[in-house]
Copies of this chain bind each other. A is one copy, B any other.
Amino acid sequence: MIRQNIKIAVDAVVFGYKDKALNVLLIKRDIEPFKDSWALPGGLVLEDESLEQAVERELKEETNVTVDYMEQLYSFGKPNRDPRNRVVSVTYFALVKPEHHDIKADTDAKDVAWFDVQDLPDLTFDHKTILEKAKGRLRSKLTYEPIGFDLLDDKFLFSDLEKLYMTILEKQIDRRNFRKKILSFNILEELDEKVSEGRGRPANLFKFNKKQYFKHQKEGFLFDIK
């Protein structure tokens, strides 16, 4: 077998919807290179763990977050993306409900924070590229899978869902058509709770019924929002 000294790492782009904006979880590095710079959470894969286990471990260690939804994003392997050795990074795309998690810096991280994707600090390595790829994945996935609910609280307002779609897809959405469309899928439960957001008419809370979704999906139903 030929000699090869390439390291393999994992990095995670963790999105959360917070303060009516799309946020991403970043850590402030506590080790060289790029100590004190902001970066995506991640690190080298251990000999006997799977890639998924590696991401989950690194996320837990560096940020104290456990994700609700995760999938592989893309692998980055240009020879000089890391100044030390050559490192190939398998990146993951994850969604969490920020209010469910107490973020906390620990191993290798000096700080952790949510950043509005519209207002990001400089990122190390090629992490900006990775983040852009993840944004693209989120945008397209939002239209054909009900992953928006993994970003919202369990109980949410219809207007929140609508704002989430408008924020991420970066376009205006007609309230009536959107509501009609989503309700026609029969994957939401309308709760008997109302919430008043300070002013205006109180709004009804909704809940995503994942079981219903899987059931409809098995019967050939396709989630699809333009």
Contact = CB atoms under 8 A, between A and B. Distances in A.
Copies in the complex: 2
A90 interface: yes
Interface in A68-120: 72, 74-75, 77-79, 84-86, 88, 90
Interface string A4-17: 11111000000000
**Best-surrounded residue of A4, A44, A45, A51 (most CB of chain B within 10 A):** A4
A1 B4 CA distance: 17
A176 B183 CA distance: 35
Contacts of A19: none
Nearest to A54: B77
A102 to B, nearest CB: 27
Contacts of A86: 47
Nearest to A7: B4
A46 interface: yes
A86 to B, nearest CB: 7
A75 B78 contact: no
Given A50-B78, A51-B88, 19 more contacts: A1-B7, A1-B44, A1-B85, A4-B8, A4-B44, A4-B46, A5-B47, A8-B8, A8-B88, A45-B77, A49-B79, A50-B79, A51-B75, A72-B74, A72-B75, A75-B75, A75-B90, A77-B90, A90-B90
Interface of A: 1-2, 4-8, 44-51, 72, 74-75, 77-79, 84-86, 88, 90
